[in-house]
Amino acid sequence: MIVQGRVAARIVALACLAAIPFAAGAAGIPTAAREAKVAAIFDSAAQSPERLRLFLRQMPKGGDLHNHLGGGIYAEDFLRWAAADGLCAAGTALVPPPCPAGQTIASIIEHQPEAYARLVDAFSTRGWQQGVGRDTVSGHDQFFATFEKFGPAARGHNADAIVLARRAADDDRLSYLELDHNPTALDNDALAVPATPLDAAGLADRYARDLPGIDAVVERARAEIRADEAKVRAALGCDGPHPEAACAVGVRYMTYALRAMPPSVVFRQLMLGFALAQKDPRFVGVNIVQPEDWPVPLRDYDLHMAMFRFLEGKYPGVHRSLHAGELAPGMVPPADLRDHIAKAIAVGGAQRIGHGVDIAEEADAAQTMARMAREGIAVEINLSSNDVILGVRGAEHPLALYRRFGVPFVISSDDQGVLRGDMTGEYLRAAREQGLRYRDLKTAARASLEYAFLPGDSLWLAHRPGQPKAACARSLADAGCRHLAETSEKARAELLLEQQFADFENKMIVDPV
């Protein structure tokens, strides 16, 4: 099979991992010296935002572990799909045909650039970030209102969205994605559940009653994702003579429940998500989403954590990453800032925390962060999202606090389409606003695979990215290291990232920005 570009390089790298020396780069420069040279280039580039962006654009970034598939799509793509599906505009809403004259999305794209721009602004935070409407709507409300607006355009386009997510990842030098994504079959079933009363004491009875119907929904969801992934591979040419580089991006999925729904619906979504993740290796965990500050999520927070604990007991092998602490002072009464992260870990069994912005407001913040550091519970850092939604940025962001306590962290995108950003921009903010330097960012990239829910043993010793296990400490050519790469998907991904770093650093030394 003929392959081209970066996909060829990645396939060759995967095939030849056992021949790559761990201790030296391809140019004969020892790893530590090579890294030091590139760190100096980074420090020089950091004097100019554009030079730094050029540096970071080329830098390998590992994985994106907090990436909502729908929110990752740009408004322009939603509008393209809406035009192809014959949808109409009613103000900034999408409605089905028949359309009044001049109100088809196709016509607006062709003839009405001002109306088109208003739709892009409505489907994203683009206009809001430029000051449009800031006196009447918060970034929080603008952000979350977009999902209902572009929702009609997303229907039937899950495969198209995955194609775009993989292309965007490859363009940003990412090699792995964990996409928050529910198959339509899962959502259709759960959202049809009647809103009947449910409390923590009733979870066991509800589980026993609903369990007989779960397998059929799970099988429909599995068939759906198989079909979608076949479409993705066809669109990218992955099985043909000229596959796109995006074919080499690894993808797994996180199911989720909508925390603002009635408890009976949330529990059904979580049951389906846990069951699907147990049955299908493409789904590596379960999450819970929607604004944490809305009244129903605040009211039901303890109940939701009890649901996670109950289902963890039924499906002990399923991973959990929970949105928790996506709050800031003034958004909610102080009492609601005191324990969400702690409860997500102690009760909900979170293995990663999404956002974790209000950690300094928690009653037992120091103990919680010490536990996260001790148990390897990483926090998913979403700098642009936290700025737009919560108004938390710069020195007010808790990333430095987490680092002070030794909490592992990963840099992630959250919803780059809605936020009009990319992972390079997140790394840029981490450098310019949080003071991270090259070695810090390299550690974050390594951590993104270390704390991914990929199966298999890690390359690294005791959750310390950069410190290889004995089998790989001397050379990747050692038999033990070859065996690790052959038997562990996680180790293969981590070893590939090391080769990507070696290639990047050697290139940067020869041709610095």
Tens digit of each residue's pLDDT (9 = 90 or more) over 170-211: 999 999 999 999 999 999 999 999 999 999 999 999 999 999
Q: Categorize the per-residue pLDDT at 482 as very low, low, confident or very high, splitting at 50, 70 and 90.
A: confident
- Please list, in sequence order, all residues whose beta carbon lies within 8 angstroms of the beta carbon of residue 298, skipping any fewer than 6 positions away: 292, 332, 336
pLDDT digits (tens, 9 = 90+) for 198-257: 999 999 999 999 999 999 999 999 999 999 999 999 999 999 999 999 999 999 999 999
Contact predicate 88/104, CB 8 Å: yes
431 shares its domain with 461: no
DSSP character at residue 30: B
Distance of alpha carbon 79 from alpha carbon 153, whole angstroms = 7
Cα 364 to chain center, whole Å? 27
Per residue in 371-429, pLDDT tens?
999 999 999 999 999 999 999 999 999 999 999 999 999 999 999 999 999 999 999 99
Sign of the alpha-carbon torsion through 217, 226, 290, 89: negative
SS3 category, 253: strand
Domain at 175, CATH number = 3.20.20.140
CA 279, 283, 285, 288 torsion: positive or negative? negative
Secondary structure (DSSP) of 139-172: HHHHHHHHHHHHHHHHTT-HHHHHHHHHHHHHHT
Q: Which two tokens mark 337?
A: 């800032």
For the full predicted model, state whether its pTM sits above 0.85: yes
CA–CA separation, 415 and 128 (whole Å): 15
Residues 265 and 234 occupy one common structural domain: yes
Question: Rounded distance, CA 343 to CA 56, Å?
Answer: 36
| Domain presence at residue 80 | no
Three-class SS state of 138: coil
Asked if 36 contacts 504 with a C-beta cutoff of 8 angstroms, the reply is no
Which pLDDT score, from 0 to 100, does residue 476 have?
Answer: 67
84 within a domain of the structure (yes/no):
no
Distance (Å, rounded) from C-alpha 235 to C-alpha 161? 11
- Return the pLDDT at 230: 98
Burial readout 386-419 (b: 16 or more C-beta within 10 A, e: otherwise): bbbbbebeeeebbbeebbebebbbbbbbbbbbbb
Residue-level pLDDT at 509: 97
Instruction: Kindly state whether residues 252 and 224 are assigned to the same domain.
Output: yes
> How many DSSP H helices and E strands does the chain contain?
25, 12
Tell me what pLDDT residue 499 has: 92
Asked whether residue 175 is domain-assigned, the answer is yes
Residue 31: predicted pLDDT: 85
Domain boundary among 401, 436, 471: 436
Whether 226 is in a domain gets the answer yes
Rounded mean pLDDT of the chain?
94
Q: Are residues 428 and 460 in the same domain?
A: no
Nearest Cα to 376, choosing from 399, 400, 350? 350
Task: Judge whether 404 lies within some domain.
Answer: yes
Strand partners, 62: 174
User: Is 232 inside a domain boundary?
Assistant: yes
> How much of the chain is in helix, strand and coil states, percent to nearest 5?
55, 15, 30
Q: Could you tell me if 476 and 370 lie in one domain?
A: no
Same domain, 466 and 431: no
Question: Is residue 432 in a domain?
Answer: yes
Q: What is the pLDDT of residues 305-345, one digit of tens each?
A: 999 999 999 999 999 999 999 999 999 999 999 999 999 99
Looking at the fold, whether 237 and 284 belong to one and the same domain comes out as: yes
Examine the domain organization and report whether 318 and 188 are in the same domain. yes
Q: Report the alpha-carbon distance of residue 67 to residue 370 in Å, rounded.
A: 26
Same domain (yes/no): 429, 466: no
DSSP, collapsed to helix, strand or coil, labels residue 428 as helix
Q: Are residues 417 and 486 in the same domain?
A: no
Q: Point out the domain boundary residue: 385, 401, 436.
A: 436
> Do residues 232 and 278 share a domain?
yes
Domain of 484 in residue numbering reads as: 5-46+456-510
DSSP at 412: -
Asked whether residue 332 is domain-assigned, the answer is yes
Q: Are 416 and 464 in the same domain?
A: no
Tell me: pLDDT of 25 over 90: no
pLDDT tens track for 109-162: 999 999 999 999 999 999 999 999 999 999 999 999 999 999 999 999 999 999
pLDDT at 473: 86
Residue with tokens 């429909």: 220
Q: Is the pLDDT of residue 20 over 70?
A: no
C-alpha distance from residue 379 to each of 56, 69, 368, 373, 452 (Å):
22, 20, 12, 10, 12
- Say how many domains are in the chain: 2
Last residue of a domain, one of 407, 436, 465: 436
